[in-house]
Amino acid sequence: MGFSHLPQKITTLFNLIKFSHTIFSFPFAVMSAFLAAGGMPGVKQLLLIIAALITARSAAMSFNRLVDTHYDVSNPRTAYRVTLQNKIGRSNMWIFVILCIVIFILCAWALNRLAFYMAPMAILIIFGYSYTKRFTHLSHFVLGLALALSPIGAWVGIQGRLAITPFLLAIAVILWTAGFDIIYACQDIEYDKKLGLHSIPKKLGIRGALILSGILHFFMIGVLLALPRYAGLGTIYSIGVYIVASLLLYEHSLVKPKDLSKINTAFFTVNGIISMGLMGVTLLDIFVG
């Protein structure tokens, strides 16, 4: 990799792995870290947790692009990924994956023993997701599990032990992620049928998939409303959850079985507001509630 082209390749890589989508898991990790600390965590701990989150996600997304090249190249929606990958170079991407994993493990080691011991399991899950569409319709839930590791890992990073609170956050993340990923997958239903890939929309049809997505998001709200019992959160947080429920209703109103034109708005914009907004009200509740 020539150093003169390094900035361009890094920019291309961040575009390829959708670095901006870190917004989906980052807020839940921060929420969990502040809840675990009962306020402001140590700066060193917080920076290590954020670094671990970013490197784990970057490794997972880069790995996904590498192992899914055969599928991406023949899908009009994802063919650009192969073009970007060729600009970066597959060998450079593998180096990046390895570098990210090394940094992730070092961050876990620097946090505490339990975080370090859990790191290999996390790597297995985030890498394993990339293969799930080949054999199960439940890949959306595995993606949710991969993102749900962020609040669990953040909690462990602060306290060095497990508790109910991060698992409730993790369940909420699984339900939320699976729900919006099912919506997103509706646009690939014909492609999945053609290549023999698996998804909920392929299994249930678009209408059935959208109904299931709504049910998952309904239960997500229920889990979020149960969180204060264990996390000591109050009115500000609860009001935030009801706002999240309204946003989810809006998200589902954007996508119809015969009109998927607003999927990108539903997928990224609304869910980005949900994750960041929920983090905001949680931190506000912790400090002033």
CATH of the domain at 121: 1.10.357.140
Would you state the torsion angle of the CA atoms of residues 89, 143, 253, 222, taken in this order, to the nearest 10 degrees? -150
The pLDDT value given to residue 21: 85
Concatenate the DSSP letters of all residues of 272-284 into one string. HHHHHHHHHHHHH
Q: Two tokens at 279?
A: 């983090």
CA distance linking residue 65 with residue 83, whole number of Å? 11
Amino acid letter at 18?
A: K
Backbone angles phi, psi at 284, to 5 degrees: -60, -40
The pLDDT value given to residue 1: 46
pTM beyond 0.85: the answer is: yes
The pLDDT value given to residue 4: 55
Neighbour-count burial of 194, counting CB atoms closer than 10 A to its CB (0-12 exposed, 13-18 middle, 19+ buried): exposed
Domain housing 52:
3-288
Q: Tabulate helix, strand, coil % of the chain (nearest 5).
A: 85, 0, 15
Q: How far is CA 1 from CA 58, 92, 96, 131, in A?
A: 19, 7, 12, 29
The total of structural domains in the chain comes to 1
- pLDDT (tens digit, 0 to 9) for every residue of the chain, 289 residues total? 455 567 888 899 999 998 888 888 999 999 999 999 999 999 999 999 999 999 999 999 999 999 999 999 988 889 999 999 999 999 999 999 999 999 999 999 999 999 999 999 999 999 999 999 999 999 999 999 999 999 999 999 999 999 999 999 999 999 999 999 999 999 999 999 999 999 999 999 999 999 999 999 999 999 999 999 999 999 999 999 999 999 999 999 999 999 999 998 888 899 999 999 999 999 999 999 7
The closest of 99, 87, 78 to 8, measured between CA atoms, is 87
Amino acid letter at 102?
A: V
Give the burial string for 130-162 (b: 16+ CB within 10 Å, else e): bebbeeebbbbbbbbbbbbbbbbbbbbbbbeee
Residue 208: how many other CB atoms lie within 10 Å: 14
Which residues does 92 contact at the CB level (< 8 Å), separation at least 6?
A: 1, 9
Q: How far is CA 9 from CA 5, 28, 59, 185, 186, in A?
A: 6, 29, 16, 29, 31
The pLDDT value given to residue 264: 86
The pLDDT value given to residue 6: 74
Q: What SS3 state is found at 259?
A: strand
